[in-house]
A = this chain, B = another copy of it.
Amino acid sequence: MSNQQIKAGIIGGAGYTGGEMIRLLINHPNVTLTFVHSRSNAGKPLHAVHADLLGETELLFADSISNDIDVLFLCLGHGESKKWLEANAIADHIKVIDLSQDFRLGETVGNRAFVYGLPEVNKEAIKQAGNIANPGCFATGIQLGLLPLAAKGLLQEVHTTGITGSTGAGQSLQATSHFTWRANNISTYKVLTHQHLKEIRRTLSALQPSFTGDINFVPVRGDFPRGIWVTSYLQSDLSLEEAVALYQQYYANHPFTHVSEKQIDLKQVVNTNKVLIQLEKVGNKLIIHSIEDNLLKGASGQAVQNMNLMFGLDETAGLKLKSIVF
């Protein structure tokens, strides 16, 4: 195990992804969590906001930032990261990992350019990157279901259903996050228009420039807190065996993404950084199921995975997490 110690800071530590960053970093063997910034909570202990941290850390939320860090995680709302980097001068040596969508389509700020932080497609670039645009939660799940096909130029029009836990909507109080409403309920939103389609298409088009078919995505609000289920299908000439072999080969060197030969269920990956993929073939349609924890592989866990790669650590350092399973 590497003895390297990385100093990390977090901006926006009071939200869901900020909290998960803290939970991961305080137990990461190669990280010292230097500060967690939160404007509204400065001076309070982290466990005043993230009550589950009681007994694990006495760190307080900071109201200022330090440049004596190696990496900075931005856990801000969409649109806020760019503003923050414009307004706050941080030292050039600090690597930035941004969890918002502000830099996923090639946007830059100052002289900082961002690599799209999906290790299963961009691992070598991530290792060299100074800044990472961490992928979206749905975008991660959908792309991991399609990457091997795109890499072979086999994509056609895709039909995708994605079901997300309530944490995907953050901690703000709103009608669709009221317990009374959401318990035992199902609804959809942004059908065929979800904003993650842009970053998905950007990746897939880079792999398969000829691909112009629709990606028809039906996002569903599920009545559970954590996890994303994705089922995609498309026309394919591959046999099931060929498809399984393609996916296994594609993900052979990716420690968190695995192909299951048995039927999968969402709780296999909840509270872990893993993605499981299961394939089926019916007639001429190839069906791809892919599952993840939206806050881990879909957000903060993938951010840590990117950090590990950027600093030459074991890709899985600090990410061998016990699943909730039940």
Contacts and interface: CB of A to CB of B under 8 A. Distances in A.
Contact of A271 (B167, B262, B271, B276): B271
Contacts of A27: 320, 322
A37 to B, nearest CB: 20
Contacts of A184: 165, 183-184, 224-227, 266-267, 270
A322 B291 CA distance: 20
Interface in A16-33: 16, 19, 23-24, 27
A260 interface: yes
A192 B236 CA distance: 14
A187 interface: yes
Given A191-B280, A264-B51, A295 B326 contact: yes
A166 interface: yes
A205 interface: no
A177 B27 CA distance: 30
Contacts of A165: 184, 326
Residue among A229, A271, A272 facing the most chain B CB atoms (10 A cut-off): A271
A201 interface: no
A72 interface: no
A231 B323 contact: no
A171 interface: yes
A178 interface: yes
B223 A223 contact: yes
A255 B178 CA distance: 31
Contacts of A260: 51, 54
Interface string A87-128: 000000000000000000000000000000000000000000
A31 B24 CA distance: 22
Contacts of A265: 51, 181, 185-187
Interface string A46-70: 0010111011100000000000000
Nearest to A263: B187
Given A159-B216, A192-B283, A218-B231, A178 B171 contact: yes
Interface string A271-308: 11010100010110101010100010000000000000
Contacts of A9: none
A322 B296 CA distance: 11
A10 interface: no
Contacts of A210: none
A244 interface: no
A16 B23 CA distance: 25
B55 A180 contact: no
A321 B321 CA distance: 7
Contacts of A56: 320
19 contacts: A16-B326, A52-B267, A52-B268, A55-B258, A55-B274, A56-B320, A161-B218, A177-B178, A178-B178, A179-B181, A181-B265, A185-B224, A188-B263, A192-B283, A214-B283, A225-B326, A226-B326, A270-B324, A271-B324
Given A163-B220, A177-B180, A188-B229, 6 more contacts: A51-B268, A52-B323, A159-B216, A161-B220, A179-B225, A223-B224
